């Protein structure tokens, strides 16, 4: 009995053995807590990486890249995967079917200053479709596209969901998913191209407006001495830059 009491008391005495035993448990708890923190941080990093990876896009490897961007926006990437083994046939069928829809929307196309006959010919012709044809298709199918090329953008907004088509440096890419934030940034920082008239006459702008356009086009607005170029010079630089992008 006395031995049992002594052993029980000994377990709670402040000696080196008990201190080492208690500290071991404390260290294990601290290690476990630190492991939980590290695991939580890793999960946060992983979730952030996954959110970045979730930005989906479609890069057509086809001849008519704009058309297939339009097709995926209209029908979804899944439908494209279903027909990818017979793209040529499906492309022609879809284009000829679209002609009837263009004709049914001739008033809307006319209001947008789109020539219907020219658009029909371009749509079913041998060459890839132009931005003008994409514009007509957006109107007829109630779709919205923001088309970006370097420092300029086109805005074909005729539907609820908006897709970004990036044609910068010759690579055509359709961005999928919610692009509302990116679209807002594009509209704030890049120069909008009105399809039928990319830039108005110089007399329509003030000197400040010309300077602002130049900045959106990433054009240097001053010379080597720091002197701001005059309106005429800046307007000429703008025309030159647009000529390379349009």
The domain spanning residue 168 has which CATH number?
3.90.70
pLDDT-based confidence at 169, cuts 50/70/90?
confident
Both 186 and 67 in a single domain? yes
Mean pLDDT is lowest, of 30-34, 185-189, 214-218, for 30-34
* Total of domains in the chain: 2
pLDDT for the residue 21: 56
Tens digit of each residue's pLDDT (9 = 90 or more) over 110-138 = 999 999 999 999 999 999 999 999 999 99
Q: Residue 167: inside a domain, yes or no?
A: yes
Task: Answer yes or no: is pLDDT of 171 > 50.
Answer: yes
Both 172 and 98 in a single domain? yes
Domain that holds residue 88: 57-192
pLDDT for the residue 48: 47
Q: What is the mean pLDDT of residues 26-50?
A: 53
For residues 221, 226, 229, 230, the Cα torsion angle rounded to the nearest 10 degrees is: 130
Task: Answer yes or no: is pLDDT of 3 > 70.
Answer: no
Mean pLDDT is lowest, of 8-12, 175-179, 217-221, for 8-12
Q: Residue 81: inside a domain, yes or no?
A: yes
| Length in residues, the chain | 246
Both 124 and 91 in a single domain? yes
pLDDT for the residue 196: 81
Both 92 and 211 in a single domain? no
Yes or no: say if 148 and 167 are a contact pair by the CB < 8 Å rule: yes
pTM score: 0.75
Both 224 and 106 in a single domain? no
Three-state SS for the chain is CHHHHHHHHHCCCCCHHHHHHHHHHHHHHHHHHHHHHHHHHHHHHHHHHHHHHCCCEECCCCCCHHHHHHHHHHHCHHHHHHHHHHHHHHHHHHHHHHHHHHHHCHHHHHHCCCCHHHHHHHHHCCCCCCHHHHHHHHHHHCCEEEEEECCEEEEEECCCCEEEEECHHHCCEEECCCCHHHHHHHHHHCEECCCCCCCCCHHHCCHHHHHHHHHHCCCCCECCCCCECCHHHHHHHHHHHHHHHC
Both 149 and 187 in a single domain? yes
pLDDT for the residue 52: 40
Residues contacting 211, CB < 8 A, separation 6+:
221, 228, 234
How many Cα atoms occupy the beta-carbon half-sphere of 240 within 13 Å? 10
Q: Residue 17: inside a domain, yes or no?
A: no
Both 66 and 139 in a single domain? yes
Tens digit of each residue's pLDDT (9 = 90 or more) over 139-154 = 999 999 999 999 999 9
Both 82 and 138 in a single domain? yes
pLDDT for the residue 88: 92
Both 70 and 187 in a single domain? yes
Both 160 and 81 in a single domain? yes
pLDDT-based confidence at 5, cuts 50/70/90?
very low
């Amino acid at each position: 009995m006395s031995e049992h009491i002594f052993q029980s008391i000994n377990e709670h005495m402040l000696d080196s053995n008990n201190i080492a035993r208690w500290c071991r448990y404390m260290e294990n708890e601290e290690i476990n807590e630190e492991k939980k923190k590290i695991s939580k941080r890793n999960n946060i990093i992983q979730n952030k990486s996954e959110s970045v990876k979730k930005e989906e896009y479609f890069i057509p490897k086809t001849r008519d890249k704009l058309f297939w961007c339009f097709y995926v926006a209209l029908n979804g990437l899944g439908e494209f995967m279903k027909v990818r083994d017979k793209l040529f046939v499906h492309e022609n069928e879809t284009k000829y079917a679209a002609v009837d829809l263009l004709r049914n929307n001739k008033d809307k196309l006319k209001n947008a200053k789109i020539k219907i006959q020219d658009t029909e010919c371009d749509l079913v012709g041998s060459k890839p479709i132009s931005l003008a044809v994409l514009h007509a298709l957006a109107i007829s199918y109630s779709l919205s596209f923001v088309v970006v090329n370097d420092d300029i953008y086109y805005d074909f907004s005729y539907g609820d969901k908006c897709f970004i088509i990036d044609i910068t440096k010759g690579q055509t890419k359709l961005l999928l998913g919610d692009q509302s934030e990116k679209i807002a940034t594009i509209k704030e920082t890049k120069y909008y191209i009105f399809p039928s008239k990319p830039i108005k006459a110089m007399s329509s702008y003030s000197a400040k407006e010309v300077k602002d356009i130049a900045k959106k086009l990433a054009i240097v607005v001053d010379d080597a001495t720091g002197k701001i170029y005059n309106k005429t010079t800046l307007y000429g630089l703008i025309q030159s830059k647009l000529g390379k992008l349009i």
